[in-house]
Structures are given as structure tokens and as C-alpha cells.
Amino acid sequence: MTNTTTATYDNIQIGDELPALQLPPVNRTTLALFAGASGDHNPIHIDTDFARKAGMPDVFAQGMLGMAWLGRLLTQWAPQSQLRRFDVRFQGITHIGHAVRCTGRVLEKLEHNGERCVRVEVLSANQYGQARIAGEALVALR
Amino acid sequence: MIDKKWIGHELPASVLPIERTRLQFFAKAIGETDPVYTDAAAARDAGYPDLPAPPTFLFAAELDSGASGRMLDDLQIPLSKLLHGEQSFSYHKAACVGDTVTVRSTISDIYEKKNGALEFVVKTSRATNQRDELVAELRTVIVCRH
């Protein structure tokens, strides 16, 4: 499947992969901007002194930043108006310098509340292949 | 130990007006380049009345209002020990610029693992708009590490 093809229920097969989303390495500017935009002002993500006092080596990414990137993976594949559910588990901390890659794969085609949907597995991992966030989404397809 | 008496506690309602410049700032912060999220004309072409809040944006409601911080104070979870364990959204209706979303949450469970080394708090939320229509349901699991 390619970016230029609109995902439809009939042209999607179980096992199809979503076009991946590669993010640049996380830096402090990204964390500061996300703190402001998301309303998450926890200093552990933006103040190195606070992070070190809390026993962390440095500031690290907000979990919801990683989930927002997975949201971009989904909405670049199918319009947000077709997104029905989006569930994630945060599995590992995303540190400064981690370059996160978001991937997804169709697990199942099913009917949900009278709509034809696909269940999609989503995953974000850093450049060392370590999983950071794993989850699933339910997307309605025409 | 987090006091289990908080199970069933309802947080004060959080009112989040969906504003254009905030959504544009959020799009910038997450590297979003799809014009649907920054350009009202593109959003209208996609069938929305105005810019839609992206899938995870409503999490901001209780951060902005302070309800989230107050809950951490009540439960005596310091920010330095806080981790996000799980997050779920079920979507019912788009929230777009001009809408006002109200989030109401309940602490639905508190439990521990690893002999109390990790404590978990589960919060379930409903987000409704100014017409009292259900916009989304949220489920949040936060972790306190010891």
C-alpha cells in the first residue's frame, strides 16, 4: 500500500502496513513546545535540574507527545473522522536524542456498531529498535 | 501508599474552549504538516466546520484547568514520581474550533504491583460539547514509581 492510495475496506488486507512516520531526534525545543501546547507543564520534561533531582539522567519526552505522533501515523493513513478508538500502553521512556519511528499494521477486518472497520496495531520504537509505545486503533473504512 | 478512599472520587469539571491558535501551536509542537489541522479552508474541504482538535488533544482539558494537578496533590503523587502508563480514547464526535468541551472524570481504580513499588491510578473521563453531545471517552492509567 502506498501514500497515494486511499484506504478502503475492500483494498485493505490483513497484514498491510501503514506508511511509516519517522520523527527527527527528540531535542529540548520539541519538549518545551509540547509542554506549552499540550498544557503538560511537569518540569521533569523541561527542566534538567528538576529531572536530575528526581533521579532521571535528563529531561525526557512527555508520553502524550509519543501518542500524538502515533495519532499522526493514523490520520495520515485515514481521515481522523474515521478514527473510532485509539489505545496505547507506554512501555519505555523516550530520551533526548531518540529518533522515533511510528509503524502500524492491519490486524483484523471487522464490523463494529454497524460499520466496517479495521483493527490496526501501532508501535513506536527508537533508533535502537526498542519499543516505546504499543497500541491499537479502530478505524472505520468505506 | 495511595489512599484507596479516592476510588469513586469525581474530579471537578474542566472546560476547554477549542481555540484556533492553540490548535495551530499543538500542530507545530507535534510536527503535524497536514493543513487540515492548521488551515480552516482545508478543514472545511475535509468536511469539518473548522480546524478539528487532533486525536489526543482533549487530554489538555484537565491539565489547563488544574484538575489533573489537584488530583495528584490529593493522592499525594509527586510529579517527580509520576509516569503515564496507558491512555485510551473512544471517539464519538469531532471537536472543532468554536466548540467548548467539558471533561468530567472519575477515579475508577487504584491498585499496586511489585509489592507496592508501583502504584496505579485509573481515571475514566467523558468529554461533551456545548450541546451536551458526547465527544469522546478517555481512560488514563497513571503510575507512581517508588
**Facing residue for A39 by CB, picked from B64, B80, B83:** B64
pLDDT at A1: 42
Sort out which chain A residues have CB atoms less than 8 A from B30's CB and list them: 34, 37, 65, 68-69, 71-72
**Facing residue for B30 by CB, picked from A55, A69, A87:** A69
pLDDT at A7: 87
Q: Which among B136, B7, B138, B145 has a CA at the least distance from the CA of B71?
A: B7
Sort out which chain B residues have CB atoms less than 8 A from A81's CB and list them: 46-48, 52, 94
Chain B residue with Cα closest to A71: B55
**Radius of gyration of chain B measured on its C-alpha atoms:** 17
What does pTM read for this prediction? Answer: 0.97
Residue B131 has pLDDT above 70, yes or no: yes
Dihedral (CA of A28, A34, A36, A39) sign: negative
Sort out which chain B residues have CB atoms less than 8 A from A75's CB and list them: 34, 54-55
Sort out which chain A residues have CB atoms less than 8 A from B88's CB and list them: 85-88
Cβ pair A30:B28 closer than 8 A: no
Sort out which chain A residues have CB atoms less than 8 A from B31's CB and list them: 23-24, 69, 72
Each residue of B16-48: pLDDT tens digit? 999 999 999 999 999 999 999 999 999 999 999
CA–CA dist B34, B43 (Å, integer): 10
Residue B46: CB atoms within 10 A of its CB come to: 15
Each residue of B66-114: pLDDT tens digit? 999 999 999 999 999 999 999 999 999 999 999 999 999 999 999 999 9
Chain A residue with Cα closest to B33: A72
**Facing residue for B79 by CB, picked from A42, A80, A88:** A42
Is A77 an 8 Å CB contact of chain B?
Answer: no
Cβ pair B54:A71 closer than 8 A: yes
Is A75 an 8 Å CB contact of chain B?
Answer: yes
Amino acid at residue number B71? M
CA–CA dist A7, A53 (Å, integer): 48
pLDDT at A2: 43
pLDDT at B140: 98
For helices A28-38 and A63-75, the axis angle rounded to 10 degrees is 80
Residue A104 in contact with residue A124, Cβ under 8 Å?
Answer: no
Chain B residue with Cα closest to A92: B85
pLDDT tens, residue order, chain A (142 aa): 444 568 899 999 999 999 999 999 999 999 999 999 999 999 999 999 999 999 999 999 999 999 999 999 999 999 999 999 999 999 999 999 999 999 999 999 999 999 999 999 999 999 999 999 999 999 999 8
pLDDT at A5: 65
Judging by beta carbons within 10 Å of its beta carbon (0-12, 13-18, 19+), is residue A24 exposed, middle or buried?
A: exposed
State the cell numbers at A72.
499522526
For A88, A105, A124, B116, B144, the CA distances from B112, given in Å and listed in that order, are 20, 33, 27, 5, 9
Sort out which chain B residues have CB atoms less than 8 A from A65's CB and list them: 29-30
